Amino acid sequence: MGRTSDAKEKILSAAQSLIELRGYSALGVAEICKAAGVPKGSFYYFFESKEALALAVIDEHWAGQKQDWTGILNSDAQPLDRLRQLFEVTEAGQRAGQQSCGTVSGCLFGNLTLEMSNQTEAIRTRLQEIFDAQVEMVDSVITEALARDEVAVTDTREAARSVVAQLEGQVLFAKLYNNTHRLSPLWANCLALLGARVPQEALAGS
């Protein structure tokens, strides 16, 4: 076993890869440790349970994604352009994942929501907090766009939820069909959901 800090990172990294590939339930602690190249004893030194590991994987993944989302959604670009960039980065990320492991693995949070949220309250609560934060970030951008009279919504929170729901739904299809082009309509759909004041040809299905 290397330095303890290495071992913890190795376990987290192996667990994230395995959870993305095969979900949470199918995994055992022994398999995670084998993939991480650490003895099983070190697992319980760092994590009191497999659930504690799942929460740590979620937190680490969100820390990285939150930084990406913040950089994009708080940039100096025009509000709607920031949303477009968010979809482009999402598509690029799924494409990179597909190239590295052969298959689109989808959204870790969406995957765990459908697999786990009914089974452990700790994971449900953590995933709720993350999606709440995502919706809040998108809401801020929509609110800015509304102040500029670029969109036509009366409830920015509800509109932000619909944009994130569309994102999760299209990522689900990208995973099912193992095809990242499924994410291409996100931008036009977002404009349609927001009643954006843009040319007709940018609307859904165009």
- Among candidates 33, 64, 47, 56, which has minimal Cα distance to 123? 56
Under the binding rule (CB under 8 A), the answer on residue 66 touching its own copies is no
Under the binding rule (CB under 8 A), the answer on residue 100 touching its own copies is no
Under the binding rule (CB under 8 A), the answer on residue 193 touching its own copies is yes
Under the binding rule (CB under 8 A), the answer on residue 65 touching its own copies is no
Element of type H or E holding 76: none
Under the binding rule (CB under 8 A), the answer on residue 96 touching its own copies is no
Three-class SS of residue 202? helix
**DSSP states of 126-167:** HHHHHHHHHHHHHHHHHHHHHHTT----S-HHHHHHHHHHHH
Which listed residue (1, 4, 21, 67) binds its own copies by CB under 8 A? 21
Which listed residue (29, 77, 89, 203) binds its own copies by CB under 8 A? 203
Rounded Cα gap, residues 188 and 190, in angstroms? 5
Binding site for its own copies (CB under 8 A): 21-23, 25-26, 103-106, 110-111, 113-119, 124, 127-128, 131, 152-156, 158-159, 161-162, 164-170, 172-173, 175-178, 182, 185, 189, 192-195, 200-201, 203-206
